[in-house]
Amino acid sequence: MTNIDVGQEKIQKQNPYIDFEKVLQQFNTPQLQCETDNGIATIPLADEISFDSWQSDIPQEYMKLSAEQLTERIGIARQKLGSELIVLGHHYQREDIIQYADYRGDSFALAQYAATQNDAKYIIFCGVHFMAEAADILAQPDQHVILPNIEAGCSMADMASEPDLYSAWNELSAIFDGTDDLIPVTYMNSAASLKSFCGEHGGIVCTSSNAEKVLEWAFEQGKRVFFFPDQHLGRNTGHDMGISDNEMSLWNWRLGPGRLGGLNRENLLQSRIILWQGHCSVHQRFSLTQIDQARERFPEVEILVHPECRAEVVDAADASGSTGFIVDYVANAEAGSVIGIGTEINLVSRLSHEYPDKTIFCLDPVVCPCSTMYRVHPAYLAWVMESLVKGHVVNQISVDKNIKHYAAVALQRMLNIK
């Protein structure tokens, strides 16, 4: 597979409604410049301007390797490892990584797939930290889950830490006279410790494809839901279930202990869903203005967005759903369809190449990739694979035994929901 050239020509193809020159004039400053304005083809790790915030203890020999050299070395290592290894690739990974994936999907589909691959001794998860943790929770005891760049996290997952959650839970316990009637629900995009918290406190995990069913389950267990870390998925799902904004409140964790998340007793007592004030920095970029511009340019356009987008964006779209839903929607659309998509650019770009008979473009004219997914550079992949060939497991993700137990309970509750 060849690298995708996301230069000006390609951006024009993906975003046929934008005035490219005008956008560059407006945004071409060092502060606002997006990687995709210059292309996201792989360059040597040493030349990556973002490398300063990436894992730095990779051996020097990998720093200068070109995309071609890396492709060759990864291919040789793969061959040597054979069926002992499976490589998983999240939809938001760059092309130079996704080409090696034995299986592509969203975070949960990948973890589930990994759990069925009992013969594989090593699972390299090309995605972000919480995904590799979920794979480790569901993996067999003798399997090793590896994250190529240990710094590939998720800014949304980082918005909900265990101490902040316990602090909030204690304050809520005082209001509700105990929390027997408050069901914690965590989005898959969260640390294993939060999944474990849910398992231990009668709660559950959800994904963007089953959030409504999971909330129905939660409301059978108790009166209220405490939903974290993504306020938008929680709010959008609440709306789909007929829950009004008056029955949802937003817990501002940044205020710290003793401030009731900026709410008061009355707000909380009338809430059916208490939303954690977290968001995805990629999906929060999509706006009503972008949708209006797309509809003006293409009256026939179908707008398709991810439920991590703001409620006003989801409401104005023709359809919303998980990455799996978006992939299926595009695959099943008729030839000649025009589809404007509100999700991460690597997936939109890939779909536009896989379906050249359809006009597929990203709603955001300054199309930034998810910066943490982007940290999985082929040099890291070459390093972890060649280490395995030499008999060393590097960057293994190993969830603590106690955390694993209750996290698995919360995941199993989700799996039991049909």
Q: Kindly list the residues in this chain that would bind ligand SF4 in the complex (CB under 6 A).
A: 92, 128, 154-156, 189, 280-282, 344, 370, 372-373
> 267 or 343, CB closer to ligand SF4?
343
- Torsion sign over Cα 239, 243, 249, 251: negative
Distance of closest approach, residue 238 Cβ to ligand SF4, in angstroms: 19
**Measured between alpha carbons, how far is residue 145 from residues 183, 396, 398 in Å?**
30, 6, 7
> 54 or 92, CB closer to ligand SF4?
92
* Environment class of 24 (CB within 10 Å of its CB; exposed 0-12, middle 13-18, buried 19+): middle
Query: Which residues, including other chains, have CB under 8 Å from residue 11's CB and lie 6 or more apart?
Result: 18, 20, 36, 37, 367
> 158 or 162, CB closer to ligand SF4?
158
> 186 or 271, CB closer to ligand SF4?
186
Q: In what order do the strands lie in the sheet with 338-342?
A: 319-320, 302-305, 338-342, 359-362
Cβ count within 10 A of residue 301: 20
Cis upstream peptide for 229 (omega within 30°): yes
- Whole-angstrom Cα distance, residue 168 to residue 218? 19
> 134 or 280, CB closer to ligand SF4?
280
> 281 or 293, CB closer to ligand SF4?
281
> 236 or 372, CB closer to ligand SF4?
372
Distance of closest approach, residue 91 Cβ to ligand SF4, in angstroms: 10
Distance of closest approach, residue 187 Cβ to ligand SF4, in angstroms: 9
> 3 or 155, CB closer to ligand SF4?
155
Phi-psi domain of 82 (left: phi exceeds 0; alpha: psi -120 through 50; beta: other) = left
Q: Nearest-CA neighbor of 397 among 192, 115, 220, 201?
A: 192
